[in-house]
Chain A
Amino acid sequence: MSTLDNGVIRSPAVHAPGERQITFGQAILEAITEEMARDGSVFIIGEDVAEAGSVFKVLVGLLDQFGPERVIDSPISEAGIAGIGVGAAITGMRPIVDIMFGDFTTLVMDQLVNQAAKTHYMSGGKLKVPMVLRTTLGASRRSAAQHSQSLHALFSHIPGLKVAMPATPYDAKGLMKSAIRDDNPVVIFEDKMLYQERGPVPEREYTLPLGQADVKRAGDDLTIVATSSMVYVALEAADNLASIGISAEVIDPRTTNPLDTEALVNSAKKTSRALIIDEGYQQYGVTGEFASVIADGAFYYLDAPVKRIGAMNVPVPFSPVMEDLTIPTAEYVVETAKALCG
């Protein structure tokens, strides 16, 4: 949703003067609340989503508004609730399945990958699975290897699934609403560290298309493609780069599947250099796909090979001194960008 204004690309997510500011968590709650009010087939199920309002306190108040029939505390049964989501979706409901830590999505793999993702195709288009699986990603909470992963690449790999990973409150609300209305299974990853992040969110009704990138900052010398909280790392790096005369454009794909390949390619064509940042493990990560898309589409325009920075290829360590080494930082992005532009 970039708008052209006096030749400057502005993102309503980053600058929207005079607009109401709410947190990322509030934006998620608003999206779910609005969609549940609009459509009686939407319900949410997960561990501690109702009485406790979720472990991250994002859903506080939802139970009071919609009651225990539609805001359902489940047993600790990830595979089970995902399966219930698939079955309910096929038969006319629009479930939101809540998996509190992205790490636990490994427990729902069959239901999501073999069932939800393939049902529409295998049935020759007869059945559809309009469900949302909302979960989290992101390290740096000192939670160690089983509570810190960013596993969105696993799902982005699967035809039939859509994957969204909002960075701002504005994007979170718009993408969540679209995900709920979409007739396909959509996995939405929320960075646990972003829930308190504030940003402008208009009071008026809006949705954001799945598959449309957003220019978070315009620039000429270098394209930085960044996802989820890495958008903030990219913006900080872009600030630092500006002070040494390098103008970086920051592009947020917002969804990895479908991917707005045109936005990535066009930006790279304009700047001739591209750097990709993502918090998933670098090996076989979404960064590889983005890089390939850019290398293919902008080959004759590029002045340097496309670079990518993911999380270090290690299980996330507990000790803060080690954990901090595994995540892309603004300093490292600046160093890499300088080398790329040198």
Chain B
Amino acid sequence: MSETKDTKPNATELDAEHWLQAYEQMAKIRAFEEAANELYTSARMPGITHLYIGEEAIAVGVCEALRQDDYITSTHRGHGHCLAKGAALDKMFAELLGKEAGYCRGKGGSMHIADQETGNLGANGIVGGSAGIATGAGMSIKLRGTDQVAVCFFGDGALGQGLLYESMNMAQLWKLPVIYVCENNQYGEYTHNSKTAAGSMVGRAAGFGVHAQAIDGQDIRTVHATARLVIDRARKGGGPAFLVCNTYRFHGHHVGDIDRPYRTREEEAEWAKRDPLKLLEDWLVKSKQAESDVFERIQQDVKSAVENAVNYALEASFPSESEVDRHVYA
């Protein structure tokens, strides 16, 4: 199912400086993921990882509308969410390499990065597994009487999970400040969602009376403006919202999925034209808010920051053996 009817909100525009910051965040995520891929292919990273390349506008567009004390829950494809919410490159890479200096002391790895300081309640290895957690955070916000918001990121594949619907129903019943952000990258692993999701995506949430809308997930201006509206609304007690952000992962399902036999190179080429970084760059240049050499400089900056972080992580030490049975209980 392809949700093509994108709804454009009245863009609440940021100034050029903020857009360049957003660009830098997206570029940082991209550089991070390219380095993660490189660590995998050069056999320096244990296990596998799922790259967010192509989807950067969603994490950044949404998180730029959040405060530090707002919450997010993330997915197996979670590096972008973590970084957009403020995670540090060095601790991220250290976690990917199973080092003690990592966000989870090497216990979680790529799929389980959590960072309380930036409100990241954790990435998740279970598809749809965080729908309840984000909604619970929303319940806690309501009971504690704060004006925080919780954002639940998940993929289109999670639309198959019943927990999501139980959660959205309760969020609407009790007007919980939870934003459900569906990153509709068209596929769950190796299967197109036309074969796994019947009917309408937004219709699912609309059925509960949840404010629901499908948007262009490649255009950070649309993502950000929409996110701002629904986040502000939730903050003021207006209840949950559901955003289907249409997007595409430019790489395979995970770093080992090189051949991608389940989709065509033509389809990939079409989506490549809608690279979120390029779209923002083009708009900023065209509207004369930035010179084109600015982007080159940002790219260089984030690349060297990523390089430093990778080196830090490579040199960091592994946890000691005594770490293994710590933290089973609080």
Contact = CB atoms under 8 A, between A and B. Distances in A.
Nearest to B45: A142
A73 B262 CA distance: 13
Given A145-B125, A147-B111, A318-B106, 7 more contacts: A52-B189, A73-B196, A76-B161, A77-B162, A142-B46, A144-B47, A146-B111
Interface in B82-112: 98-99, 104, 106-112
B318 interface: yes
Contacts of A317: 106-107, 324
A52 B104 CA distance: 33
Interface of B: 46-48, 98-99, 104, 106-112, 124-129, 157-162, 188-191, 195-197, 262, 318-319, 321, 323-325, 328
B191 A47 contact: yes
A321 interface: yes
B27 to A, nearest CB: 27
8 contacts: A51-B190, A52-B191, A73-B196, A74-B196, A76-B128, A142-B109, A318-B109, A322-B106
Binding site secondary structure of chain A: loop
Nearest to B317: A321
A295 interface: no
A318 B323 contact: no
B161 A77 contact: yes
Binding site secondary structure of chain B: loop
Given A75-B197, A77-B162, A146 B126 contact: yes
A314 B318 contact: no
A221 to B, nearest CB: 32
B319 A144 contact: no
Interface residues of A, number: 34
Contacts of A145: 107-108, 112, 125
Contacts of A146: 111-112, 124-126, 129
Interface string A47-58: 110011001000
Contacts, number: 119
B123 to A, nearest CB: 10
B107 A319 contact: yes
Interface of A: 47-48, 51-52, 55, 73-77, 79-80, 103-104, 107, 141-147, 312-315, 317-322, 325-326
Contacts of B324: 312, 314, 317, 322, 325-326
B145 to A, nearest CB: 33
Contacts of B99: 319
B47 A319 contact: no
A143 B47 contact: yes
A80 B160 contact: yes
Nearest to A55: B189
B111 A48 contact: no
Nearest to B323: A322
B15 to A, nearest CB: 41
Nearest to A73: B191
B312 to A, nearest CB: 16
Nearest to B254: A55
A51 B328 contact: no
Nearest to A49: B191
Nearest to B321: A325
A314 B319 CA distance: 15
Given A48-B190, A73-B196, A318 B47 contact: yes
Contacts of A79: 162
Contacts of B195: 73
A192 B205 CA distance: 37
A80 B112 contact: no
A110 to B, nearest CB: 11
Q: B104, B157, B189 — which one has the most chain A CB atoms within 10 A of its CB?
A: B189
Contacts of A52: 189-191, 262
B126 A104 contact: yes
Nearest to A68: B195
